Amino acid sequence: MSTSARGFASDNEAGVHPAVLDAVAAANHGHAHSYGADEHTARLGELVHDHFGPEATAFPVLIGTGANVVALQALCQRWEAVICTDHAHVHVDEGGAPEHIGGLKLWIVPTTDAKLTPALLDTEAWGFGTVHRAQPGAVSVTQSTELGTVYTADELGTLCDHAHGLGLGVHLDGSRLANAAAHLDVPLRALTTDVGVDVVSFGGTKNGALLAEAVVVLDPGLVDAVAYLRKTSMQLASKQRFLSAQLVALLDDDLWRVNASHANAMAARLAAGAAAVPGVRLTQPTQANAVFAVLPAGAADRLRRRHHFYDWDRDSGEVRWMCAWDTTAADVDTFVADLAAAVTGGAVTGGAGGA
């Protein structure tokens, strides 16, 4: 694929937002105290209070996998396990990092929409006090989910209350939390602090950052654990000002919401266009920035001659298309036109907008 091509495989393939690059450049002057004792990290702390509440503490980290592993370790003892869905990123896309680095057992719950409920949680939240079974210690939910579905605040609140009633901590994998909050038109704290989440992996990279995520601790009792675990998990950056500056750029003036809202709007445009193509069937509601669809046999391969995207389930013909902060309406319209051609067996040549 050409480096100038516009793909729909992942929001990770998008570039860096200009405001984030400007923030990194602005931070690149003179010397600053290392390991987080700098003015940019201090400013990040203030913004995290604004967005998540006065007791929230942010720990910038390098990557989302690291954020998840640090957060889950903070919630669990060595003999405890994490309950998550069969679609959860910590289960299917972390290369075994929670198990290998965190030493954690994952109890997996099958779902149809990638969302946990109290009833589904109970299918694995059992065996307390039995030494032969890894003890449930925490719940991990992904928001928005790997299927692009979004938990409402009420759904999360009910789940957190149930989990806490069982003595379980709650981790929210928020690599696309911005997209979920934008979809529901609520502040970040409405889906985290206000519903009882204990610790959040807050994503910046998928929302326009270069290389910046954060573990946001909402339960003050976990602060010390995360501080040490971030270092032992190799996620403490010495030149932390450059991570913090990126997150400051996203959180200040709600750039996170602008970027996420745009990505969501492009996904909605893509979903509407794809649904109008005969033979294409959408398989999930398009609530964030992901579109899932089943295509007729051979159509995906023809379409992929010009556009980069992934199969989700090759046996069923289901594919996933992701939109990002920099996806344009022309990108989407060109893609839909080529989709229609691919479905009918015609030539996929692309249009003026490029994709």
Residue 8 lies in a domain: no
d(CA 180, CA 267): 13
| 79 and 224 together in one domain | yes
| 88 and 221 together in one domain | yes
Pair 104, 78: CB distance under 8 Å: no
pLDDT for position 66: 96
| 157 and 223 together in one domain | yes
| 129 and 196 together in one domain | yes
Greatest CA separation found in the chain? Answer: 64
* Residue after which a domain boundary falls, among 197, 222, 253: 253
pLDDT in tens, 40-83: 999 999 999 999 999 999 999 999 999 999 999 999 999 999 99
Residue 308 lies in a domain: yes
pLDDT for position 6: 73
> Is the pLDDT at 347 greater than 90, yes or no?
no
- Alpha-carbon Rg for the chain, nearest whole angstrom, is 21
Average pLDDT of the chain to the nearest whole number: 94
Instruction: Please give the model's pTM, rounded to 2 decimal places.
Output: 0.94
Domain extent for 268:
256-344
pLDDT for position 2: 45
Pair 43, 261: CB distance under 8 Å: no
| 132 and 220 together in one domain | yes
Instruction: Give the C-alpha distances (Å, rounded to integers) separating 151 from 27, 105, 191, 206, 312.
Output: 36, 24, 8, 19, 21
Residue 3 lies in a domain: no
Residue 7 lies in a domain: no
* Residue after which a domain boundary falls, among 237, 253, 269: 253
Rounded average pLDDT over 5-32:
94
Residue 337 lies in a domain: yes
Whichever domain contains 247, its CATH number is 3.40.640.10
| 262 and 235 together in one domain | no
Rounded average pLDDT over 135-163:
97
Domains of the chain: total? 2
pLDDT for position 92: 92
pLDDT confidence tier of residue 350, bands split at 50, 70 and 90: low
What DSSP line would sit under 38-101, residue for residue? SHHHHHHHHHHHHHH-TT-EEEEES-HHHHHHHHHHHH--TTEEEEEETT-HHHHSSTTHHHHT
Instruction: Give the C-alpha distances (Å, rounded to integers) separating 127 from 74, 75, 78.
Output: 22, 18, 16
Residue 354 lies in a domain: no
* The two three-digit tokens of residue 186, written as one number: 């609520």
* The two three-digit tokens of residue 344, written as one number: 């009918």
Whichever domain contains 302, its CATH number is 3.90.1150.10
| 321 and 211 together in one domain | no
pLDDT for position 346: 67
- Residues in CB range of 246: below 8 A, 6 or more apart: 20, 23, 24, 204, 209, 210, 211, 212
d(CA 263, CA 257): 10
Residue 352 lies in a domain: no
| 189 and 277 together in one domain | no
| 213 and 117 together in one domain | yes
* The two three-digit tokens of residue 235, written as one number: 């996620």
* Residue after which a domain boundary falls, among 253, 273, 295: 253
| 73 and 118 together in one domain | yes
> Is the pLDDT at 351 greater than 60, yes or no?
no
| 193 and 55 together in one domain | yes
Residue 4 lies in a domain: no
| 235 and 221 together in one domain | yes
Start-to-end C-alpha separation, the chain: 11
> Is the pLDDT at 1 greater than 50, yes or no?
no
Pairing outcome for strands 318-322 and 310-313 = antiparallel
